[in-house]
């Protein structure tokens, strides 16, 4: 049992990183009913920006730059690829999302020459090694869950207690009536992309601190797993995405700890299939109780 403890701690940390990405999926789905396939790639781009900016400028400039550029990227994707399709069938928007995903990967290929970009200057302090229960790990492992929980609380507060949050909840229920209240749905939708990209950028900085390099496909796996987490928790639900992400992160690491590393990815995707078969609305999914 003692031997599993470091894996558990690692799992909580990985879960936190998944959670930060999963919120982006679930927020956008909650409002647009769209699976934003480009979200994992936004995460990857945030990693690349971190690599380049931290190599050339001091930390107090590079972190804000990563956040700002990633937010601009998310905002631009929505305006350029999804907004023109607002009245189009949902399938068209989804195909557009897949297109954006490939576009971003190819642009990243162009910029990086297809080579993984080494993380030469990881963010100090959180990349320091610390010893925990006799195991050496990076401090980011300990910081991640706390930072994640703090950001989630801030987000839930924003959604439940502010005017823009109320607007988001109204728009998620009924576009047209929200418009009749004078709510500008386009700014509300942009806001969800801004929040989602911001959290993905934070997630990327934490995630890639633990990795030697960022490749153009680096967004794929964490993106997919965060998506599974969002579905597992009930897509559209923020608490669901967070709980789902932590459960998946912990399960994966425990499976590794038990010596079945080969199966840890398979477990996550098997979980997706089981959830879709048994409880498609997920742990905290919207119950359909609309009165006619």
Site of interaction with other proteins (CB under 8 A): 163, 166-167, 169-170, 172-174, 176-184, 289-291
Shortest distance, CB of residue 179 to other proteins, whole angstroms?
Answer: 5
| Nearer to other proteins (CB atom), residue 55 or residue 164 | 164
Size (the chain), residues: 292
Shortest distance, CB of residue 160 to other proteins, whole angstroms?
Answer: 10
Shortest distance, CB of residue 185 to other proteins, whole angstroms?
Answer: 9
Q: Pairing mode, if any, of strands 117-118 and 129-132?
A: unpaired
| Nearer to other proteins (CB atom), residue 55 or residue 88 | 88
| Nearer to other proteins (CB atom), residue 32 or residue 247 | 32
Shortest distance, CB of residue 181 to other proteins, whole angstroms?
Answer: 5
Distances (CA, A) of 208 to 56, 123, 168, 203, 212: 17, 10, 31, 8, 7
Shortest distance, CB of residue 157 to other proteins, whole angstroms?
Answer: 15
Residue 21 parent element (H or E): helix 5-32
Dist. CA 98–CA 140, nearest whole Å: 32
| Nearer to other proteins (CB atom), residue 167 or residue 219 | 167
Residue labelled with tokens 């009749």: 180
Do the beta carbons of residue 239 and residue 233 sit within 8 Å? Answer: yes
Shortest distance, CB of residue 87 to other proteins, whole angstroms?
Answer: 12
| Nearer to other proteins (CB atom), residue 176 or residue 262 | 176
SS3 257: helix
Paired residues of 145 in beta bridges: none
| Nearer to other proteins (CB atom), residue 47 or residue 240 | 240
Q: What angle, rounded to 10 degrees, do the helices at 5-32 and 163-173 form? A: 70
Shortest distance, CB of residue 291 to other proteins, whole angstroms?
Answer: 7
Residue 129 parent element (H or E): strand 129-132
| Nearer to other proteins (CB atom), residue 129 or residue 176 | 176
- Exposed, middle or buried by CB within 10 Å (0-12, 13-18, 19+), for 148? buried
- Secondary structure letter of residue 104 according to DSSP: H
- Distance separating the N- and C-terminal Cα atoms of the chain: 53
Shortest distance, CB of residue 188 to other proteins, whole angstroms?
Answer: 11
Dist. CA 282–CA 244, nearest whole Å: 9
Distances (CA, A) of 167 to 38, 40, 277, 278: 25, 26, 33, 33
Q: Could you give phi then psi for residue 51, rounded to 5 degrees?
A: -60, -50
| Nearer to other proteins (CB atom), residue 128 or residue 174 | 174
């Amino acid at each position: 049992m003692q031997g599993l403890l470091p894996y558990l701690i690692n799992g909580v940390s990985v879960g936190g990183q998944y959670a930060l990405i999963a919120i982006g999926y679930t927020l956008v789905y909650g409002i647009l009913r769209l699976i934003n396939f480009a979200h994992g790639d936004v995460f990857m781009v945030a990693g690349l920006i971190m690599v380049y900016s931290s190599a050339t400028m001091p930390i107090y400039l590079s972190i804000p730059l990563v956040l700002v550029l990633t937010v601009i990227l998310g905002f631009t994707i929505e305006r350029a690829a999804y907004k023109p399709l607002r009245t189009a069938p949902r399938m068209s928007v989804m195909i557009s999302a897949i297109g954006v995903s490939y576009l971003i990967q190819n642009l990243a290929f162009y910029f990086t020459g297809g080579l993984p970009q080494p993380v030469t200057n990881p963010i100090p302090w959180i990349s320091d090694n610390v010893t925990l229960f006799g195991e050496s790990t990076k401090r980011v492992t300990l910081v991640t869950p706390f930072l994640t929980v703090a950001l989630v609380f801030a987000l839930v507060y924003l959604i439940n207690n502010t005017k823009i949050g109320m607007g988001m909840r109204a728009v998620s229920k009924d576009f047209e009536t929200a418009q009749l209240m004078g709510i500008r749905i386009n700014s509300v939708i942009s806001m969800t992309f801004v929040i989602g990209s911001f959290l993905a950028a934070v997630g990327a900085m934490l995630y890639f601190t633990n990795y030697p390099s960022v490749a153009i496909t680096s967004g794929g796996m964490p993106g997919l797993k965060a998506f599974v987490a969002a579905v597992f928790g009930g897509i559209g639900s923020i608490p669901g995405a967070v709980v789902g992400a932590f459960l998946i992160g912990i399960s994966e690491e425990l499976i590794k700890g038990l010596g079945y590393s080969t199966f840890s990815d398979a477990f996550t995707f098997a979980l997706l299939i089981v959830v879709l078969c048994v409880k498609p609305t997920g742990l905290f999914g919207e119950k359909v109780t609309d009165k006619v």
